[in-house]
Structure 1
Amino acid sequence: MSRFATLRFERQVAAPVATLWQAWTAPAARAIWASPAPSVTVEFLEADTRVGGREVSLCKVEGQPDIRCECGWLELQPGRRSANYEVISSAGVTQSAALVTADIEGTDGGSRLAVTVQLSSLEGDMEAGYRQGFDAGLDNLAGVAERTMVLERVIRAPRQLVWGAWMNPETLPQWWGPEGFSCRTKRIDLRACGEWVFDMIGPDGTVFPNHHLYGEVRAEDRLGYTLLWGENGPKHADAWALFEEADGATKVTLGMVFSTEAEFQQAKGFGAVELGQQTLGKLARFVGAG
């Protein structure tokens, strides 16, 4: 029985480095690709993606004890490298500990991800399970990254001000949406487990029903939400927004994992990147930084 193993995995991903990095590290994206099989449900209990922060999740399979995974971030070099420890336990018994390092680099066709796992099995032989779990998870990750859209903008205003304009139910509808669009709100509650039901109204009067369901909300740090096609309609995408302090300014990163590759391509086709940048531009102007 092997107690120690070094496992290596590599994936070529048809997505830019910045997009792959968000898919690898953003909690909203990790929750999508983390499950190694359809029979496994992954529930995230906490997630703090900063050096010194940790992530705790439960892997659930019907009829079996939950498996607890604790991940602690040791190194985060955006777009380049991450390192974290990972401790797996079940029913209060620690089964394994591992050091996971990931290196990302750009390629002609997108990105290359190389992951090394230094594994110590404390309860039985965990190597085969780790190989299977990481192989499946990284396959999922590649698919998620390839239908993820990432927008970034540095806004010359303090993070508290930018966060306040986003998370205030009075101000969010005033700037949300591309140039020439307006919002008509039905219900709005911008807390965790809250929602925003609204219509986007285009310059020609076309109405686009929207429904945002809010998950995680960490003040002045990040929020995660689900986009539905109209009130209680089918899911369109899982999204997150990150707010990072940048020498007195605020770097805003908006990420979206579309539900299908077809929806991702359709969104790109009608100019979602440009329209999203217009939305962030309106936010900048709203806080007096445009």
Structure 2
Amino acid sequence: MMSNLDPDGIHGARDAAEGRFATLTFERDVAAPLSALWQAWTAPAARAVWAAPTPSVLVEFLEADTRVGGREVSLCKVEGQPDIRCECGWLELRPALRSVNYEVVSSEGVTQSAALVTADFSGTEERSRLVVTVQLSSLAGNMEAGYRQGFSAGLDHLAGVAGRTMVLQRVIRAPRTIVWNSWMNPETLPQWWGPEGFSCRTSRIDLRTGGEWLFDMIGPDGTVYPNHHRYIEVRPEERIGYALLWGENGPKHADAWALLEDQDGATKVTLGMVFSTAAEFQQAKGFGAVELGLQTLGKLERFVTS
């Protein structure tokens, strides 16, 4: 998890004693629902938003598979310094309760550190709490100071992201393949997308990684709302990651994702959105985005079960 790293701490510790071990604990009380905090912690689209410890650091995700046995690989880039590679492997994922992952950090082909990261979650739909324990083994210099600084900054960023994250969920009484095919089909997606009484008018649609959907949402009163979705990731029958823009190539107002999971022959759908600012999040809540989003999922269920 690149948010845990301080590049200066890594490269400034070359001369420190090797083989250092430490157990670090970080705690955060977060003004966000437990469901939002969990999604912000685990969803790749959200992790990409809060991953960098400082604005001078660019984090590039090469792989992201958030499931037990899956791994996440990212590069931490700082101008004038070698890239830092972080591999994270998920060992345990108990939704809204606990995650456990290993983390291996390397630079220029040399392993810098290995760590076991345990995150415990608790809370309600009003507030939540996160306790992270890092069992750190520094392999090339003493990494403890860098981890403390990087993790503290990352968790501060995470708390801010969770506070502007909206999560909608619905169990749809249809197999995941059918739900996915109705979602990622350019003919059927516009038929059900949007709240009750709204319709879609598509200009361009290309539902694949790197593709886009340019369309207008038309309200019951005829009001036109221009939309532009840019697809960052499409993992068949599992996950979609996309950016929401105000009109064609307009300003981004949210990073979004959809997760599809099997649940006893039905499909659990999770829609998540990290709004670009806290003000946009509050504005969306104010005009009923939660209720409108749930209506959209209801239309999807009617579409696939009719």
Please classify the TM superposition score into its range, dividing by the shorter chain length.
Answer: over 0.9
Q: What residue number does 1:4 align with?
A: 21
Q: What residue number does 1:92 align with?
A: 109
Q: What residue number does 1:164 align with?
A: 181
Q: Are 1:232 and 2:249 matched, yes or no?
A: yes
Q: 2:33, 2:125 within 8 Å by CA — same for their partners in 1?
A: no
**Structure 1 residues 130-181: Cα deviation after superposition (integer angstroms, max 9, x where no partner):** 0111000000000000000000000000000000000000100000000000
Shift in CA distance, 166/108, structure 1 to aligned 2, threshold 3 Å:
closer
Q: Are 1:112 and 2:129 matched, yes or no?
A: yes
Q: Are 1:267 and 2:284 matched, yes or no?
A: yes
Q: What residue number does 1:46 align with?
A: 63
AA matched with 1:214: Y
Counterparts of 1:17 and 1:204, CA distance in 2: 36
Which runs of structure 2 are paired with 1:27-66 in the superposition (5 Å)? Answer: 27-66=44-83
Which runs of structure 2 are paired with 1:101-140 in the superposition (5 Å)? Answer: 101-106=118-123, 110-140=127-157
Deviation at 1:272, TM superposition (A): 0.1
Deviation at 1:16, TM superposition (A): 1.0
Counterparts of 2:106 and 2:178, CA distance in 1: 41
AA matched with 2:138: S
Shift in CA distance, 4/254, structure 1 to aligned 2, threshold 3 Å:
same
Two-structure CA RMSD over aligned residues (Å): 1.0
Shift in CA distance, 286/38, structure 1 to aligned 2, threshold 3 Å:
same
1:287 match: secondary structure: helix
AA matched with 1:48: D
Counterparts of 1:137 and 1:85, CA distance in 2: 17
TM-score, length of structure 1 as denominator length: 0.98
Counterparts of 1:62 and 1:162, CA distance in 2: 44
Counterparts of 1:271 and 1:163, CA distance in 2: 26
Counterparts of 1:66 and 1:183, CA distance in 2: 44
Which runs of structure 2 are paired with 1:169-180 in the superposition (5 Å)? Answer: 169-180=186-197
Fraction of identical pairs, as percent: 82
Counterparts of 1:99 and 1:10, CA distance in 2: 16
State how many pairs are aligned: 289
Q: What residue number does 2:42 align with?
A: 25
Q: Are 1:250 and 2:267 matched, yes or no?
A: yes
Which consecutive residues of structure 2, in runs of 5 or more, have no partner in the other structure?
Answer: 1-16
2:146 match: secondary structure: helix
Counterparts of 1:128 and 1:217, CA distance in 2: 37
Deviation at 1:265, TM superposition (A): 0.1
Q: What residue number does 1:282 align with?
A: 299
Q: What residue number does 1:74 align with?
A: 91
Q: Are 1:223 and 2:223 matched, yes or no?
A: no
AA matched with 1:212: H
**Structure 1 residues 49-86: Cα deviation after superposition (integer angstroms, max 9, x where no partner):** 11010000000001111000000000000000000000
Higher mean displacement: 102-111 or 13-22: 102-111
2:305 match: secondary structure: coil
Counterparts of 2:276 and 2:49, CA distance in 1: 10
Deviation at 1:107, TM superposition (A): 5.4
Counterparts of 1:199 and 1:219, CA distance in 2: 26
Counterparts of 1:63 and 1:212, CA distance in 2: 34
Counterparts of 1:108 and 1:11, CA distance in 2: 16
- Provide runs of 4+ in structure 1 moved above 4 Å: none
Q: 2:32, 2:125 within 8 Å by CA — same for their partners in 1?
A: no
Counterparts of 1:70 and 1:145, CA distance in 2: 23
